Structure 1
């Protein structure tokens, strides 16, 4: 479980996060949604330590990550899998080398054990046999799947995904969503996804945190969202004619 308490973050005079509280449960996919500039990615980065919050606490199963030293954070970092928006693969490394990278850093596995793990992860994301390809030889969807394979290499307890469907076609986006949901259940992971994709919200939104102008404005399930009377949330979610029609049919 991940719990955040009163998270504040500013950059200069720009206050991006204004006292965010939320609890993210294991075995579920939690989504953070909101308009551009609402603070979604900043909140995610505060949770994983890429940004330090100005105030507040980030608790991983009760451990206050915010107060830990760099060395004391390492055991928790080993349990974190991260999928970045642009996949963030190393262009000069093969698919296999990208996946093994975290194993080289954080484990004492033998070379054969690392290779076995890489092969398992590639098979898990339906990319068996693509070990020796380079990122430049992959489609956008394949890059995302390699990014997921790398994220699960350490059998993560916590899985963070920043805009996993960005730049993907609808069919590939659905496949990525289904894969994230399957892996969350498989590892009983606490999974947090930043997204603006309403298909993802409706498909895998077991818990949704809506941010508006740096504040927590609403939380609930995707079914709760369809019945919400919060004006700001409705303006964001039902901006498209398709979503409007979906709400009208309920």
Structure 2
């Protein structure tokens, strides 16, 4: 479980996060949603240490990540997998080299052991035999799956996913959502997904944190979000559904 307590973050005069608290449970798809500028990506970056919060705490199973030194954070970082919005694959590396990157950095495994783990991860995301391809040879959906394979290569306890369906067609988005859901449940991972995709919200949103203007506006499940009387949530949900429907007609 990950717990955040009273997280504040500003950049100069721009006050982005205004005292956000919440819990993200293991074995669940925990979604952070909200409109542009609501603070959801900044919150994710504070949780993984890419930004330092001005105030507040981030606890990984009771361990206060925000109060640890850079060296002390290494053990927790080894337990974190991350899928970036644009997959962030290294263009000059093959699929195999991309997935093996963290293993080379953080483990003392033999080459054979690392290759075995790479092949296991690629098989798990249905990319068996794609080891020698380069990112330029992959479709958008395949890049996302390579990114997931790399993110789970270290057998993480915590998985962070930033806009996994950005740039993907609706059918491929469903495949990625289902893959994230399967991996989360199969390995009992604490998964945190930042998204604005209402199909993801309704499909895998077991726990949802809705942000507005840097504050926690609402929290609940996908079963509850369609029936809330919170006007800001309703405006976001139904505007997103309308936009997606219009896009699919084009």
TM-score by length of 1: 0.96
- Structure 2 distance, partners of 1:23, 1:241, is 27
How far apart are residue 240 of structure 1 and its match?
Answer: 4.8
Check conservation: 2:124, 2:149, Cα contact below 8 A: yes
How far apart are residue 78 of structure 1 and its match?
Answer: 0.3
The secondary structure found in structure 2 opposite 1:70 is coil
Q: CA RMSD in A?
A: 1.4
Residue in structure 2 matched with residue 172 of structure 1 by the alignment = 172
Question: C-alpha deviations, 1:196-242, integer Å up to 9, x for none?
Answer: 00000000000000000000000000111111000111000111565
Do residues 7 (structure 1) and 7 (structure 2) align? Answer: yes
Aligned in 2, Cα 1:175/1:241: closer, same or farther, shift over 3 Å?
A: closer
Do residues 155 (structure 1) and 150 (structure 2) align? Answer: no
- Structure 1 distance, partners of 2:75, 2:241, is 46
Aligned in 2, Cα 1:218/1:241: closer, same or farther, shift over 3 Å?
A: closer
Question: C-alpha deviations, 1:32-73, integer Å up to 9, x for none?
Answer: 000000001000000000000000000000000000001110
- Structure 1 distance, partners of 2:179, 2:67, is 33
- Structure 2 distance, partners of 1:10, 1:45, is 13
Unmatched segments (≥5 aa) in structure 1:
246-250
May I ask how many residue pairs the two structures share in their alignment?
A: 245
The secondary structure found in structure 1 opposite 2:26 is coil
* Aligned positions of 1:10-89 closer than 5 A: 10-89=10-89
Aligned in 2, Cα 1:110/1:221: closer, same or farther, shift over 3 Å?
A: same
Residue in structure 1 matched with residue 235 of structure 2 by the alignment = 235
Residue in structure 1 matched with residue 112 of structure 2 by the alignment = 112
Check conservation: 2:197, 2:240, Cα contact below 8 A: no
The secondary structure found in structure 1 opposite 2:72 is helix
Query: 4+ residue runs of structure 1 moved beyond 4 angstroms?
Result: 240-243
The secondary structure found in structure 2 opposite 1:108 is coil
Do residues 122 (structure 1) and 160 (structure 2) align? Answer: no
The secondary structure found in structure 2 opposite 1:72 is coil
Residue in structure 2 matched with residue 204 of structure 1 by the alignment = 204
Aligned in 2, Cα 1:118/1:194: closer, same or farther, shift over 3 Å?
A: same
- Structure 1 distance, partners of 2:241, 2:111, is 53
The secondary structure found in structure 2 opposite 1:38 is coil
- Structure 2 distance, partners of 1:77, 1:239, is 37
- Structure 2 distance, partners of 1:3, 1:177, is 23
- Structure 1 distance, partners of 2:208, 2:76, is 24
How far apart are residue 187 of structure 1 and its match?
Answer: 1.1
Do residues 224 (structure 1) and 210 (structure 2) align? Answer: no
Unmatched segments (≥5 aa) in structure 2:
246-250
The secondary structure found in structure 2 opposite 1:47 is helix
